[in-house]
Structure 1
Amino acid sequence: MIGCTPASEAPLPPPVQALAAKGITIKGPLKAPDGYRGFVGEYRGHTLPVYLLPDGEHTVIGSLYDRAGNDLTSDSLEAASAPVLDDATWAALGKTRYIAEGATNPRRIVYVFTDTECPYCHKLWAATQPLLAGGDVQVRHILVAVISPTSPYRAAAILQAADPLAALRQHEQSFGHSTVVPAKTLAPAIEAALVANGELMDKLGVQGTPATVYRDADGTIHMAAGMLPDAQLKAIFGPR
């Protein structure tokens, strides 16, 4: 949906609308100095700050600085482009096709976006195993296919196994020389699940795998990228 806004919102100023012809998607508003209007743009997967100048006739793309050299854009752009992590996000995670591991009656649920070919996903899995043993945390592995051409087919082999968790463990235990043979074809339901998982990953702004999503003791949702340090691993995956 390039350069469009919902019908309930005011139309974009013509100079901003014109950026659609350049392939720039306007995602939403951006805090701007008095006289300017700011917008969050996206071009080929990159977030851009877009400003409508005070004359209302021209736009600029890039950061603004004040007379003292202070950056007026970076913090605002980061805040405006950050994904919303709310109850709807949590509900969407719960509707994915995931593989549950750990407690059957958990006190905490943790979601992990993982790719079967990702070495850091494997390291995270291995590091969580002793923490999950006999604990009260359940990890829900959301398989995505972003690393290699093999990713969707190995994920399919795991998801369509008679026991997906056993297949996932078999793969992780033999990672690097996996004994789980990739599927030859993708069943429509499996392909649709992987696509949906990937789309949710993109919606949440996840740039790579693994990515861990969890609630803290107050119920606030957090997202942590990559392999986590020991203290954070214990705080997220350890017994409550």
Structure 2
Amino acid sequence: MLSKALPRPMQFSTVPLALLMGVVMATGAEAEDKAYPEILQTIEQQGIRILGEMQVPGGLRSFAAKAGAQPLAIYLTPDNQHVVVGTLVDAYGQDMAEDQLKKMVEQPLSEAAWTKLEAATWVQDGDPDAPRIVYTFTDPNCPYCNRFWLAARPWIESGKVQLRHVMVGVIRQDSPAKAAAILQAKSPEEALTENERKHADGGIHPLDRIDGDTAAKLDRNATLMTELGFGGTPAIVFKTEEGKIDTFAGMPSEAQMSTLLGPQ
């Protein structure tokens, strides 16, 4: 198999990402009664989105995945303790997963997913009448969320884009209390802005107590983030110029910002 290097992992990391040259060791025995073996769940915690299983020859299980905008083919060894990230080719050099991977990576989210995002608990960032709406799952402690917020200012300030921050608390112990401080503020929009502007100094002060309603909203947001296949923040959902619903995980590059938010 030929390895492919991965892009830099996102901040939502609980163990080092060791996928760069192909082989990863599991952190424990395979979990029972779970959709995927434990090693794949560990990979998802690093920001790698598992899209589904593919069918390939040779006795290996194969999974389509996405790291940011980069498609990946992940192959699981028979012991369920290692994966290889790369390209499986036959004697003629033909990629055994290319067509399946392309189809699965390019498959857009359904309108039902967009409807769920509309019904989620989010904080408006930008003109309510902006022609383009983009959803982003945001953790108050996430440095890449902060970088995305800063990078999006020209689109927000011009009135071209409205970001809807679906608040979650998943990175640090005080993340839920900070997210709650934003949601329970008199003006969640102003509280979000305060957190992002003061991010380098620790951001907004966490609440001492989260009320039950807010805790339930944060739980639902985190569940929705997982349902949409994300393992970390920022997790961005947008509509392409053709109207298809697409996703992006991590901090976009300067060129990718135009894809997500439109021409500046």
Amino acid at match of 2:239: R
> Judging changes above 3 Å, is the alpha-carbon distance between structure 1 residues 224 and 183 closer, same or farther for their aligned structure 2 residues?
same
The counterpart of 1:25, out of the listed 30, 35, 52, is 35
1:229 aligned to 2:226? Answer: no
Shift of the alpha carbon at 1:140? 0.2
| Correspondence for 1:107 | 131
Q: Secondary structure at the match of 2:200?
A: coil
Amino acid at match of 2:181: A
> Judging changes above 3 Å, is the alpha-carbon distance between structure 1 residues 178 and 30 closer, same or farther for their aligned structure 2 residues?
closer
Amino acid at match of 2:147: K
The counterpart of 2:226, out of the listed 202, 221, 226, is 202
> Judging changes above 3 Å, is the alpha-carbon distance between structure 1 residues 83 and 97 closer, same or farther for their aligned structure 2 residues?
farther
Larger Rg: 1
Q: Which segments of 5 or more consecutive residues in structure 2 lack a partner in the other structure?
A: 1-29, 37-50, 64-72
RMSD: 3.6
Q: Secondary structure at the match of 1:100?
A: strand
Moved more, 166-175 or 66-75: 66-75
The counterpart of 1:140, out of the listed 158, 164, 175, is 164
Q: Separation in 1 of the partners of 2:254 and 2:166?
A: 22
Contact persistence 1:136–1:239 (CA under 8 A)? no
Contact persistence 2:142–2:233 (CA under 8 A)? yes
Q: Separation in 2 of the partners of 1:83 and 1:206?
A: 15
The counterpart of 1:161, out of the listed 176, 182, 185, is 185
Deviations 1:13-72 (A, max 9, x none): xxxxxxx99445379774456xx9x897xxxxxx9879xxxxxxxx99789864557553
Shift of the alpha carbon at 1:221? 1.2
Contact persistence 2:196–2:203 (CA under 8 A)? no
Q: Separation in 1 of the partners of 2:106 and 2:75?
A: 13
Amino acid at match of 2:204: V
Correspondences of 1:171-186 after superposition (within 5 Å): 171-178=195-202, 180-186=204-210
Q: Secondary structure at the match of 1:223?
A: strand
Q: Secondary structure at the match of 2:155?
A: helix
| Correspondence for 1:87 | 111
Q: Separation in 2 of the partners of 1:231 and 1:80?
A: 23
The number of equivalent residue pairs is: 208
Amino acid at match of 1:25: A
Shift of the alpha carbon at 1:104? 1.5
Deviations 1:122-146 (A, max 9, x none): 1110111122113231110011112
Q: Secondary structure at the match of 1:170?
A: helix
Between the aligned residues of both structures, percent identity stands at: 35
> Judging changes above 3 Å, is the alpha-carbon distance between structure 1 residues 124 and 73 closer, same or farther for their aligned structure 2 residues?
same
Q: Separation in 1 of the partners of 2:251 and 2:106?
A: 21
> Judging changes above 3 Å, is the alpha-carbon distance between structure 1 residues 194 and 75 closer, same or farther for their aligned structure 2 residues?
farther
TM-score of the superposition, structure 2-length normalised?
A: 0.65
Amino acid at match of 2:35: T
> Judging changes above 3 Å, is the alpha-carbon distance between structure 1 residues 153 and 239 closer, same or farther for their aligned structure 2 residues?
same
User: Whose RCO is larger (CA < 8 A, sep 6+)?
Assistant: 2
Amino acid at match of 1:139: L
> Judging changes above 3 Å, is the alpha-carbon distance between structure 1 residues 143 and 75 closer, same or farther for their aligned structure 2 residues?
farther
Contact persistence 1:82–1:205 (CA under 8 A)? no
Q: Secondary structure at the match of 1:190?
A: helix
Contact persistence 1:154–1:180 (CA under 8 A)? yes
Contact persistence 2:240–2:259 (CA under 8 A)? no
Q: Secondary structure at the match of 2:152?
A: helix
| Correspondence for 1:150 | 174
TM-score of the superposition, structure 1-length normalised?
A: 0.71
Q: Separation in 2 of the partners of 1:21 and 1:217?
A: 41
Q: Secondary structure at the match of 1:213?
A: strand
